[in-house]
Amino acid sequence: MTWERLHKEQEELFLKLMKIEKMQSQIETLTHQITQTGCEIQTYDEELKNLKAKLEQLDSFSFVNLIRSWTGKQEELREQKIDKAASLELKLIEAIQMKNDLSEDLLEKNNEISKYNEEKIKNQLEMIKVKKELWLKEHQPNIALALEQLEEDELNCKKLKIEIDEAKIAGNDAINKLHDVIASLESASTYSTWDTFLGGGFIATHLKHEKINESESKMHQAQIALQRFKNELLDIQNISTNHLTVNTDGFVKFADYVFDDIFSAWSIHSKISSSKEHVSKVIADVRNTMLKLEKKLGLLEEKLNEIELKKKDILEI
């Protein structure tokens, strides 16, 4: 068997093993994220129950509440608590949806990894390494060490390239989903303007609430896309010797910031604009990350070309 054929088989087995290790890491990450999201659900649920209890207290008769109603404080307090409760309810719904999606991702990864026999692949890989050592002893014993080091570097570069390509796909998906959110917010802004300046009415109100539901759905789709992008970035950071430093906290939890304003935003045009600005900033953050990935990919391509030339020089000795 030729050296090129042995190396090709080694590469195929190496990349299979890499895929298994990646899925194992993703299963661990997803399990942690599901647990964390479960805690968030519990927290939001408890906070929402407390707020509902406080709203019931505001509605019940008391002399303090009577005085508040005379001074206008009662309605102001009620409005503040309703806004906060609405924001919490949206966060709770988002967390439940996120947990469901992450659970589906986990199930998919467990099903996929069950198709592989890790021990068998490791044994096959060891056999190829032995065959390569024997080939070098027979044909080129003097170049063995240099060639083995180059091929190890080559495999690691190809491994990182695959991860970056997968992260780019996830990043582009997140950007597309975020643009959908902006389009939905713009549509909601239009209906909010109609509701404000045309006096509302059943049809305007009905259409506006449809846009609320649509925007919530679009935001969740963007949120899970961002979470998947973050998980791909974590894979890159785990295998890269020259770590790609990316702060993902600002965009992975973007929905929380939007939900803090979003309930009152449907009737206040300026707050919808504020939400759109926040989503635009998230898009810019993701794009900046994508530029870093492109730069890293360019360096990898150069490195792979350099390794290929060195290998040819050695094998032609």
Beta-carbon count within 10 A of 247 CB:
9
* Domain formed by 1-140, architecture: Orthogonal Bundle (1.10)
- What whole-number distance in Å separates Cα of residue 315 and Cα of residue 302? 20
Q: Which of 263, 228, 267 is nearest to 248 (CA)?
A: 228
Tens digits of per-residue pLDDT, 106-121? Answer: 999 999 999 999 999 9
Please write the tens of the pLDDT for every residue from 166-179.
999 999 999 999 99
The Cα 273–Cα 30 span in angstroms is: 34
Between CA 311 and CA 315 the distance in angstroms is: 6
Looking at per-residue pLDDT, the higher value among 317 and 154 belongs to 154
Q: Which two tokens stand for residue 258?
A: 């939007």
User: Which residue ranges does the chain devote to CATH 1.10.287?
Assistant: 1-140
Identify which has the larger pLDDT, 78 or 70: 78
For residues 158 and 153, give the distance between their C-alpha atoms in angstroms, rounded to a whole number: 9
Report the pLDDT value the prediction gives residue 32, as an integer from 0 to 100. 95
CA 13, 17, 19, 20 torsion: positive or negative?
Answer: positive
Average pLDDT, the chain: 77
Q: Which two tokens stand for residue 30?
A: 């997803």
pLDDT band at 145 (very low <50, low <70, confident <90, very high): confident
From-to residues of CATH 1.20.120 in the chain: 156-317
Mean pLDDT value across residues 194-206: 41
CATH class held by domain 156-317: mainly alpha
Is pTM beyond 0.75? Reply is: no
Q: Give the pLDDT of residue 256.
A: 54
pLDDT value of position 12: 92
Q: How many helices (H) and strands (E) does the chain have?
A: 9, 0
Choose between 196 and 1: higher pLDDT. 1
Encode pLDDT of 15-64 as tens digits.
999 999 999 999 999 999 999 999 999 999 999 888 888 777 766 544 34
